[in-house]
Structure 1
Amino acid sequence: MKKQKIEIQLEVFENLSELPENIQKLMNRAQQARENAYAPYSHFRVGAALQLSSGTIVTGNNQENAAFPSGLCAERVAVFNAGANFPNESIAHLAITARSENKQTTEAIAPCGACRQVLSEYEQKQKSPISIFFMGETGSIIKVGSVQDLLPLGFSAKYL
């Protein structure tokens, strides 16, 4: 039996001021989007902001529904928005921030599994990595250089 080890690379920034200026702006847009989230059930607001290859910023936030499976996460709202409105542009960076209305969120909140799969598909489609920066309401920010760092054994169209 052959064993292999999967390793990921990430960077940790202690606060927003340590981020590059363009990523600080992107995270600020994600924070603004977070406050407009529709989260009457979970009381957990998530905002996402994408920077496209042209420099255009596209935002999204979680949208809940009483029929729970009908809602959509912030990351997918932003990615699908970009795919629908800017189909020929690639996604360079993604910033994500989350906060709970019930307690302070100080740990970095990574994308859920469904969002990781969607991001993986877009990364494969554009044939270039998407760097992802994620945080809670406050605290440190984690950066991964590619969706593959979050989903190393992802499913793709090559299996179909």
Structure 2
Amino acid sequence: MQKQKLSFELTIFDGLAELLKEDQDLIAKAVGARKNAYAPYSNFQVGAAVLMENGEVVIGSNQENASYPSGLCAERVAVFQAGALYPGVQIKAVAITATSKNHVVDSPAAPCGNCRQSMLEYETKQKKPIKLILMGETGKVIQCNSIADILPLGFDSSFL
């Protein structure tokens, strides 16, 4: 038997002011997208902004449905739209921010497993890490250097 420990490095910022200007701008776009969320069931609004290598930013917000599995998370809305609008253009970074009508979200909300897998597909396809920036409504900001970091042992086309 062999044991192996998996770990990754992330950066925790005390607030937005510590981020690079480009990352602050990306978070601001994610906050704007968050306001367009359709979340009448969960009251949990998420916004995502995808920065492309060509400088374009694509946004998305969560879109719920009374038939719960039919909704879509903000991250996938934004990443899939980026892929549709700019095929072949690499994704540089994804910013995600969340808020709730029920309480203050004062810590970063990480993407669900489906979103991690979907973003990993794009990172694998482009053979270059995608920076991930996470923020709640207030408080600290977390930055990860790669989607693969938050989905160890991820599934990709090499298994098919």
**TM-score if structure 2 supplies the norm length?**
0.99
What residue is the counterpart of 1:33 in the other structure?
33
Partner of 2:22: 22
Q: Is the partner of 1:58 in helix, strand or coil?
A: strand
Query: In structure 1, what is the Cα distance between the partners aligned to 2:101 and 2:90?
Result: 33
Between the aligned partners of 2:137 and 2:126, the Cα distance in structure 1 is: 30
- Give distance in 2, aligned partners of 1:34 and 1:61: 5
Q: What letter is aligned with 2:159?
A: Y
Correspondences of 1:4-153 after superposition (within 5 Å) = 4-153=4-153
Moved beyond 2 Å, runs of 4+ = none
Work out the CA distance in 1 between the residues paired with 2:140 and 2:54.
28
Given residue 122 of structure 2, which amino acid in structure 1 is its aligned partner?
A: Y
Unmatched tracts of structure 2, length 5 or more? none
1:107 partner amino acid: S
Q: Which amino acid is 1:29 matched to?
A: K
Residue 159 of structure 2: aligned partner: 159
| Matches of 1:110 and 1:15, distance apart in 2 | 17
**Partner amino acid for 2:65?**
N
Q: Distance in 2 between matches of 1:61 and 1:108?
A: 16
Q: Give ranges in structure 1 of 5+ residues lacking alignment.
A: none
Quick one: distance in 1 between partners of 2:138 and 2:153?
A: 30
Matched residue SS, 1:105: coil
Q: Distance in 2 between matches of 1:76 and 1:17?
A: 27
> Partners in 1 of 2:106 and 2:149 — Cα distance?
22
The secondary structure found in structure 2 opposite 1:42 is coil
Q: Secondary structure at the match of 1:22?
A: helix
Q: Distance in 2 between matches of 1:30 and 1:135?
A: 10
Secondary structure of the equivalent of 1:107? coil
Equivalent residue pairs, number = 160
| Distance apart, 1:152 and its partner CA | 1.2
* Shift of residue 50, structure 1, vs aligned partner: 0.6
Q: CA deviation at 1:88?
A: 1.5
